[in-house]
Amino acid sequence: MSVHIRLMREQDIPAVFRVQTQAYVSAMVEAESIFRKRLAAAPATCWVAEDASAGVCAYLMAYPSTSGKISSLGSDFHPATEADSLYLHDLAVGTAMHGRGVGVQLVRHAEAYATSAGWTTLHLVSVQSTKAFWQKQGFVEVTALSPEQTSALMTYSGPAYYCVKQL
């Protein structure tokens, strides 16, 4: 199996939305309009994985950020002008590609991008029992959170964990 990782394009949004609905519980599904706004705000840090037969089979939406800033579910991307980190807001893999390493490939791609930009960390919110996946990628949970960070975590359905990886 070979997938190609490339920048997300506007015409990918319907396929990205389909992947999202396969990957998330309904309470966590975000509207296509939000995807469009996020892509417009951070086009250099939103990627898809494309398979020759399946088309777009996974995606990662991220944006330049500052370490410690947590995005609420459903919020727009506000890329930092003085970024020191890449915030991985949304990684999803379609059901047909589960267990094939596509998510890991997208994370490595994002890590390479962040390193080339000179940023020192990746950070994210782990949801839906994905904490073990993120730990295998080198992320650690941060438990000492400010009230603002805790409030942002509360917008996610089910347990949510703020995690950071030093680059």
Predicted local confidence at residue 103, as pLDDT: 95
- pLDDT of 37 higher than 90: yes
Residues contacting 101, CB < 8 A, separation 6+: none
Q: What is the pTM of this model?
A: 0.94
What would the mean pLDDT of 60-74 be, rounded to a whole number?
Answer: 94
- For residue 158, the SS3 value is coil
Residues contacting 69, CB < 8 A, separation 6+: 80, 85, 87, 123
In angstroms, what is the C-alpha Rg of the chain?
A: 15
CA angle 92, 98, 103 (to 5 degrees): 45
Beta pairing partners, 87: 63, 123
Give 1's pLDDT tier (boundaries 50, 70, 90): low
Interatomic CA distance for residues 21 and 92, integer angstroms: 9
- Choice among 7-11, 55-59, 65-69, 96-100 with the minimum mean pLDDT: 96-100
- pLDDT of 154 higher than 80: yes
Contact 74/27 with Cβ under 8 angstroms?
no
Predicted local confidence at residue 157, as pLDDT: 86
Tens of pLDDT, residue by residue over 77-131, are 999 999 999 999 999 999 989 889 999 999 999 999 999 999 999 999 999 999 9
| Angle of the 32-41 helix axis to the 13-23 helix axis, nearest 10 | 120
